[in-house]
Structure 1
Amino acid sequence: MALPTNLHYKALCRVLRYIKGSPGQGLYYPNSSILQLKAFSDADWAACMDSRRSTTGCCVFLGDSLVSWKAKKHNTMAKSSSEAEYRALAFTSCEIQWLTYLLENFKVHFIQPALLYCDNDSARYIDANSIFHERTKHIDIDCHVVRERLHSKLFHLLPISTLEQVADKS
């Protein structure tokens, strides 16, 4: 923003041409939807058959509408499924933080904290246990990232089974 170049201008023109060319597409936010960020985090441990690297995926909803999603192959190999899942949690917590700041800057009123669903019990246990062990040393930074955001009440970390129980009651 401080020093825009011709490259920035070309990128802006491309985005505007895309928006102009697709007027019927967009995100739909129904009036009945409760505005709260809900995120789902998952990892596929050692999924790549060539490199044995894991794949991380997340999707984030604002109310009933999908607003962010991403899947990415890890740069390094994970030694366990817990490590892969915890890296996915760290990645998703960063996405939640960014979207929270974005919504606050746009002055969108939404329910806080966000809900982050994870299907891995050991990843949730690592987060609940504040004592670092030798077994978690290799994911030390990810642990700090997730715990810092969890303790600042940016999100609640919940098991997927909680979501299934809510769906069964309705």
Structure 2
Amino acid sequence: MCTNRKIVWSLVVLSVLEIGFGVSSITLGAVGLRSVRTTMQKTQLGDASPVWSGMCFLICGLCGVLCAIKRSGLIMILFSACCICGLIGGILNIQFVRVLVKRSDGLRSVHLGALSLASLGIAGCTLCTWLTCRLASTEQRRMFLEREHSLHHSHEMTEKVRRTSSLAIT
């Protein structure tokens, strides 16, 4: 069975990887934009998409690290929303860059790199979403057990007080 600590560490590792994918995608997108502008080509819609999807991956990774540290319900919801935005950003990036790969310029390797990073980012967002659901489930189970233990303890204390008060009366 997967423990809470394993889930948290897996989430941290995936979030750091997601941050790396985001920074790499932003860098690759900036290189592609600069190359397009220096060669005086007309910029197309997908030229900046690696930058935007990289921003989504970067924010997703940062929220994942925050989620692993805080582990509150609202942070988990925020992180899940960021993962969904990362998925959407990555899918749109693939759609836009796929058209650019067909262009006959010297940026084919940059575009293929952007496609690869987008695919890895999408996979990372998917795994992070799954891990967040697992983490939320284990946290919910832990809180339930703590509440049950607390109720059991208060029930024992009530019985002890009753016994003590009945002995004091007699």
The TM-score normalised by the length of structure 1 is 0.31
Greater RCO structure (CA 8 Å; 6+ sep): 2
Q: Greater CA radius of gyration, 1 or 2?
A: 2
The structure with the largest helix share of the pair is 2
The structure with the largest strand share of the pair is 1
